Amino acid sequence: MARVTPTHTPATKYILACLLAITLLLSDINYQTFSSLRGGVQATGIYSQLFLGSLFSRLLAFNTLNEDKKTLIRENHQLRDQLQLFKNKVFLEKQLQLIRTDLLDLEHGLQNLMDVGQVRIFKIGSFGLANYLCCSKHILHLQNPNQLNVLNNLPVAIDKTFIGQTKTQHLGLIEVILFSDISHVLPASINGLPCNAQGAGQPMLARCTVTADSIEPGIETTSPVLTSGLGGVFPKGVRIGSVQSIDKISLDEFSIEIRLDGNPINHSYFGVLGGS
């Protein structure tokens, strides 16, 4: 059990230690010999405590300050995000307002066109600008995400005029052939003179070829060109453009260039008139 061999404990060292302790104790109690030493140690202890307390409170204050800064930075980020969100919202509202205005204008224009009954508005899906500006084929596609059944050969309008007619429908897109397409022929009327306005293959341009004896004196540049209603697609008497020039192409034939009013480039929404 014992880890060392039992030995005799010499009392001398303990007696000396006790005598030393008693001497110190008596001198301290009676003469306050070590009061300065004791006081110094206690003062050191107290100062240490105060110093540590001060250090701790400073650390705490620093930590609080740091937390405040972090909170401010976080709030700043939040405010910046909110501002960004607000800006985006305002921008989107503005865009929405523009679209609404556009739609209202379109509706207003369509109301003036005719009393066909049903008017449906579609957003543009794609427009072959390269072909439109260079070549003969002038086609645009309207989005039909709800797959509404839109018949072929229905008038397509913007503002207060027509620009073409529906040709066919593929999946969610309605193909529209414009008046300026070279394969499109529109029965028109210029000051009562009926003619077939064929697309010129150039933007906003169509041509009528008429005989020399049919040209009346009243037909001149800026004369309005109206739909004749003979094709059964477009209603009668709606202005689609004006005469731009009248050229003699042979002895008894004249070519009348018609400047079309509807410019599809400037519009995002198009109305399709007529039932499904």
Partner 1 sequence: MKLSSHLFIFLTIFSGFWLDSVIATFNIRTYITLLEGIPYLVETCIGFLILSYWIYALPEKIQSSAALFYGLLIDLFFGSAIGFNMLFFSGISYVIHVYVFRFRIFSYLQLIIFFGGASIFYIACKYLIFSPENYSYLLLLVSFFINALLWLPIYYLMRSMRRTFL
* Binding region for partner 1 (CB under 8 A): 1-4, 6, 9, 11, 13-14, 16-18, 20-29, 33-34, 37-38, 41-42, 45
Ramachandran bin of 83, using left for φ above 0, alpha for ψ from -120 to 50, beta for the remaining angles = alpha
Closest CB 15 distance from partner 1, rounded Å: 8
Nearer to partner 1, 41 or 148 (CB): 41
Nearer to partner 1, 26 or 60 (CB): 26
Structure tokens at 175: 């193909």
Q: Are 207 and 200 in contact (CB under 8 A)?
A: yes
CB of 57 to partner 1, least distance (A): 22
Report in angstroms how near the CB of residue 65 gets to partner 1 at its nearest: 33
Least gap, CB of 27 to partner 1 (angstroms): 8
Smallest gap from residue 53 Cβ to partner 1 (A): 17
CB proximity list for 190: less than 8 A, separation 6 or greater: 208, 219, 223, 224, 225, 226, 243, 256, 258
Cα 271 from Cα 224, distance rounded (Å): 22
Contact 219, 246 (CB under 8 A): yes
By C-alpha distance, which of 121, 113, 140, 136 is closest to 226?
113
Helix/strand/coil percent split, the chain, to 5: 40, 30, 30
**By C-beta, is 24 or 151 nearer to partner 1?**
24
Taking the least distance from each CB to partner 1, the nearer of 2 and 130 is: 2
**Nearest to partner 1 of 16, 134 (CB atom):** 16
Q: Which is nearer to partner 1, 41 or 151 (CB)?
A: 41
Q: How far is the CB of 52 from partner 1 (least distance, A)?
A: 15
Cβ 64 to partner 1 shortest distance, Å = 29
Strand partners, 248: 254
Q: How far is the CB of 44 from partner 1 (least distance, A)?
A: 10
Q: Are 140 and 174 in contact (CB under 8 A)?
A: no
Q: Give phi and psi for 153, each to the nearest 5.
A: 60, 45
- The residue written with tokens 């679209």 in the block is 99
C-beta closer to partner 1: residue 11 or 130: 11
Please answer whether residues 119 and 266 qualify as being in contact, where contact means their C-beta atoms are separated by less than 8 angstroms. no
- Tell me the sheet residues that pair with 170: 173
Of 13 and 170, the one with the shorter C-beta distance to partner 1 is 13
- CA gap 273, 276 in Å, rounded: 9
